Amino acid sequence: MNQLRAWLRPETCIFIVLWLGLLVVGRTQLFRDPGTYWHIVVGERILDTGRFPEVDEFSFTRTNQPWLATQWLGEIAMAGVDRWLGFDGLLVMLATMLAALYAWVANRLIRVGLHWSLAVVLVALALAASVHNWHVRPHMATLLALALTYGLLLDVDSGRRSVVSLCWLPLLFLIWSNLHGGV
């Protein structure tokens, strides 16, 4: 029984409930933004040709105008997941990322002394505030990378980590800037 209690911590339950909920409602809700398909197609073109698109082929107001694929890494990743696992793979990837992110936030809140029930309320408020931005698109990398950066900075500021742990941030920012411009 103690092993089960150690495994079923509040943040684990948050992960499981959120992950399952996202898998159920995500099929209709997370793919509502047409930009999802646009990003997949751009990634497919990059994978097929081995080159970045140089002109905008998709928007009627800028057809054949010079264009730079600034989210190329995210688009390639989305196209790769789509090729390998289809839309279900993209759904599982996003559901796992979001559930892990909010469970991690709950874990951090509980570790600093908040009661698990208050942590659940705060995470639920954060979910409610951010759910309108949840789409299978490269900008989700910004949500994750920003949270990781902020968490790391808080750990350094509080003395839980040394300043040396900030050395990997330039690599994160390099990857992040090619996933999404939110860096």
Distance of CA 75 to the CA centre of its chain: 13
pLDDT at 4 over 70: no
* Residue 57 binned pLDDT confidence (cut-offs 50, 70, 90): confident
171: tokens are: 């690599």
Which pairs count as long-range contacts for 154-160, CB under 8 Å and 24+ apart, including other chains? none
* Mean pLDDT across the chain: 91
Q: What percentage of the chain has pLDDT greater than the value 70?
A: 97
Residue 52 in contact with residue 69, Cβ under 8 Å? yes
pLDDT at 181 over 90: no
116: tokens are: 């698990």
Span 31-44, pLDDT tens digits: 888 889 999 999 99
pLDDT at 1 over 70: no
pLDDT at 146: 93
Q: What is the mean pLDDT of residues 3-15?
A: 81
Span 62-121, pLDDT tens digits: 777 888 889 999 999 999 999 999 999 999 999 999 999 999 999 999 998 999 999 999
pLDDT at 20 over 90: yes
